Amino acid sequence: MAGYIGTTPVPQATQHRESFTATGGQTSFATVGYTPQFIDVYLNGVKLAPADFTATNGSDVVLASGATASDILEIVAYTPFEVANQTFTGTTTATNLTVTGAFTSQGIDDNADAVAITIDSSENVGIGTSSPDKLVHLKTSVNNTAVLQIESTATDSYPFLSLKNDAREYQLAAHGPLGDVFTIYDGTAGSHRFVIDSSGNVGIGTSLTPSGSSASSRFITVAGSGDGVLQLTKTGSGGGAIASAAGTGMLFYTHTGTVGSESYSERMRIDASGNLLVGTTTTANLIGGTGNDGVALTPNHIEVGRSGGAGLFINRYTSDGDIAEFRKDGTTVGSIGASGGEPYIGNGDTGLKFNSANDYIQPFNVSGGSGRDNAIDIGNSGNRFKDLYLSGGVYLGGTGAANKLDDYEEGTWTPTLNFGGNATGMAFTTQSGSYVRVGQVVTAQFRIELSAKGSSTGNANFGGLPFNATSVGTLYPAFYGLHHDVNSGSGGSTANVLPIGQITRGGNSWNYYNADSTTAIDAAYFNNNTVINGTVTFRVN
pLDDT of residue 214: 52
Residues 6+ apart with CB under 8 A from 379: 385
pLDDT of residue 97: 55
501: buried, middle or exposed (CB in 10 Å: 19+, 13-18, 0-12)?
A: buried
For the full predicted model, state whether its pTM sits above 0.85. Answer: no
pLDDT of residue 6: 47
140: buried, middle or exposed (CB in 10 Å: 19+, 13-18, 0-12)?
A: exposed
pLDDT of residue 10: 47
Residues 378 and 394: their CA atoms lie apart, in Å, by: 14
490, amino acid identity: S
β-strand pairing of 125-127 with 136-138: parallel
Find out whether 280 and 271 touch, Cβ atoms under 8 Å.
no
Question: Is 262 strand, coil or helix?
Answer: coil
Q: Distance between the two ends of the chain, CA-based, in angstroms?
A: 126
Residues 273 and 282: their CA atoms lie apart, in Å, by: 11
Residues 6+ apart with CB under 8 A from 70: 21, 22, 177
- CB neighbours of residue 461 within 10 Å: 20
Give CA angle at 479 (475, 485), nearest 5°.
145
Find out whether 245 and 253 touch, Cβ atoms under 8 Å.
no
Find out whether 453 and 488 touch, Cβ atoms under 8 Å.
no
Question: Is 524 strand, coil or helix?
Answer: helix
Kindly compute the dihedral angle of the four CA atoms of residues 83, 86, 90, 93, in this order, to the nearest 10 degrees: -10
| H/E run at residue 515 | none
pLDDT of residue 116: 72
In order of their start, the domains of the chain are 12-104 (no CATH), 160-211+219-225 (no CATH), 230-270 (no CATH), 408-539 (2.60.40)
- Per-residue pLDDT tens listing for the chain (541 residues): 444 444 444 445 578 899 999 999 999 999 999 999 999 999 999 999 999 999 999 999 999 999 999 999 999 998 765 555 555 566 666 555 555 555 555 555 455 556 678 888 888 888 888 888 888 888 888 887 777 888 888 998 989 888 999 999 999 988 888 888 889 999 999 888 888 888 888 888 777 665 554 556 666 777 666 677 777 777 666 788 888 877 778 888 888 887 777 888 889 999 888 899 998 988 888 888 888 999 999 999 999 999 999 999 999 999 999 999 999 999 999 999 999 999 999 999 999 999 999 999 999 999 999 999 999 999 999 999 999 998 888 998 899 988 999 899 999 999 999 999 999 999 999 999 999 999 999 999 999 999 999 999 999 999 999 999 998 876 666 666 555 554 454 444 445 555 778 888 899 999 888 766 678 888 988 899 998 888 889 999 8
- Per-position DSSP letters for 460-489, written without gaps between them: EEEE--SSPPP-SSSPPPEEE--EE-SS-S
pLDDT of residue 229: 77
φ, ψ of residue 181 to 5 degrees: the values are -85, 160
Closest by Cα among 406, 416, 484, 415 to 446 = 415
φ, ψ of residue 203 to 5 degrees: the values are -120, 130
pLDDT of residue 57: 93
| H/E run at residue 218 | none
Find out whether 180 and 198 touch, Cβ atoms under 8 Å.
yes
Find out whether 131 and 121 touch, Cβ atoms under 8 Å.
no
Residues 366 and 345: their CA atoms lie apart, in Å, by: 7
